[in-house]
């Protein structure tokens, strides 16, 4: 199916079209991408220039940089004076975007779990990655090391590239595509190994760095890979191209909206886990969609 360019998947948020916070939460949970022409929170031109200047000093960044707000730890950056500045910039970005989301999406305030942030300096087009790690194939997100146990994955992005848009393809939301797909395809994760599951649970309980995944998390990890492997889904499912212009910001539930990054570099991103009890439309949350589908009773959280 050809990619559409005029998308029903995106809602542009402007100062003239302000809605109630609950309405924005509903739209996001139903699979819309909310887009802002400019960052709706402070982010200085100086900081953007610093991040971009790194390309002129000899490809200092050779991988994505990740930031863990809970422990204030930056990973993936080379040591040196610039590292401190980079740490400060990503820390401030994380704080500002979190503060904004807490008021813009007020029903979530106080309930959001702050996950990792990242700086993505690499050009996405043509990256040479193994199939399951490729970003240019439609997929829904699931984190191998951070199970959500039914919580949803909300991500906010900022394109600091002054010259090029970040280009995504997005597909139909989870509550629309999964029932159709399940109707004609068998998507069944391999059975869990009870001994391994018990070991993981024990390890996690005594503080070892092993993820204690619920069957829901296992299913979402399996689906992530299955979608990337499935040529028919990649080529035939409806999809829309979205171009996020220089300086723009957008947010989306990436566990529910199939997405693929086709091109772009220099983006900042912050991830939030929104627990089930904070959702305003829990009926379209992936865990509940899976519960409703026949044969999915085993998807426990």
Nearest approach, Cβ of residue 79 and Fe ion (Å): 29
Token reading at 98? 């979190």
Inter-residue contact 152 to 279 (CB < 8 Å): yes
Q: Which is nearer to Fe ion, 77 or 170 (CB)?
A: 170
Q: Enumerate the β-bridge partners of residue 171.
A: 239
Integer Cα distance of 278 and 29 in angstroms? 11
Token reading at 207? 């503080």
How many residues of this chain interact with Fe ion, rule: CB under 5 A? 1
Nearest approach, Cβ of residue 139 and Fe ion (Å): 6
Q: Which is nearer to Fe ion, 141 or 218 (CB)?
A: 141
* Coil, strand or helix at 250: strand
Q: Which is nearer to Fe ion, 218 or 269 (CB)?
A: 269
Q: Which stretch binds Fe ion (CB under 5 A): 12-20, 54-62, 136-144, 232-240?
A: 136-144
Q: Answer yes or no whether residue 124 interacts with Fe ion by CB under 5 A.
A: no
Furthest-apart CA atoms within the chain: distance in Å: 57
Q: Which is nearer to Fe ion, 48 or 249 (CB)?
A: 249
Q: Which stretch binds Fe ion (CB under 5 A): 10-18, 123-131, 135-143, 233-241?
A: 135-143
In which residue are the tokens 């829309």 written? 240
Q: Which is nearer to Fe ion, 141 or 217 (CB)?
A: 141
Token reading at 12? 């542009």
Q: Answer yes or no whether residue 141 interacts with Fe ion by CB under 5 A.
A: yes
Q: Answer yes or no whether residue 255 interacts with Fe ion by CB under 5 A.
A: no
For the chain, helix, strand, coil in percent to 5 are: 35, 20, 45
Residues in touch with Fe ion (CB under 5 A): 141
């Amino acid at each position: 199916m050809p990619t559409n360019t005029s998308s029903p998947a995106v809602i542009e948020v402007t100062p003239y079209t302000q809605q109630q916070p609950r309405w924005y939460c509903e739209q996001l949970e139903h699979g819309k991408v909310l887009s802002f022409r400019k960052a709706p929170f402070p982010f200085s031109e100086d900081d953007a220039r610093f991040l971009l200047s790194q390309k002129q000093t000899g490809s200092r960044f050779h991988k994505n940089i990740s930031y863990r707000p809970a422990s204030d730890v930056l990973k993936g950056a080379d040591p040196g004076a610039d590292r401190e500045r980079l740490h400060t910039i990503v820390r401030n970005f994380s704080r500002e975007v979190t503060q904004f989301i807490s008021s813009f999406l007020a029903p979530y305030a106080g309930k959001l779990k702050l996950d990792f942030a990242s700086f993505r300096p690499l050009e996405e087009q043509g990256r040479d990655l193994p199939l399951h790690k490729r970003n240019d194939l439609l997929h829904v997100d699931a984190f191998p090391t951070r199970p959500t146990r039914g919580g949803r994955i909300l991500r906010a992005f900022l394109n600091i590239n002054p010259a090029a848009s970040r280009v995504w393809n997005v597909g139909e939301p989870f509550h629309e595509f999964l029932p159709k797909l399940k109707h004609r395809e068998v998507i069944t994760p391999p059975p869990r190994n009870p001994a391994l599951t018990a070991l993981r649970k024990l390890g996690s309980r005594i503080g070892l760095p092993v993820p204690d995944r619920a069957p829901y998390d296992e299913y979402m990890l399996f689906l992530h890979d299955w979608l990337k492997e499935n040529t028919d889904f990649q080529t035939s499912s409806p999809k829309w191209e979205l171009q996020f212009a220089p300086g723009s910001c957008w947010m989306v539930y990436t566990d529910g909206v199939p997405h693929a990054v086709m091109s772009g570099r220099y983006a900042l991103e912050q991830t939030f886990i929104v627990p089930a009890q904070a959702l305003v439309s829990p009926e379209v949350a992936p865990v509940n969609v899976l519960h409703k589908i026949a044969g999915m009773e085993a998807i426990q959280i």
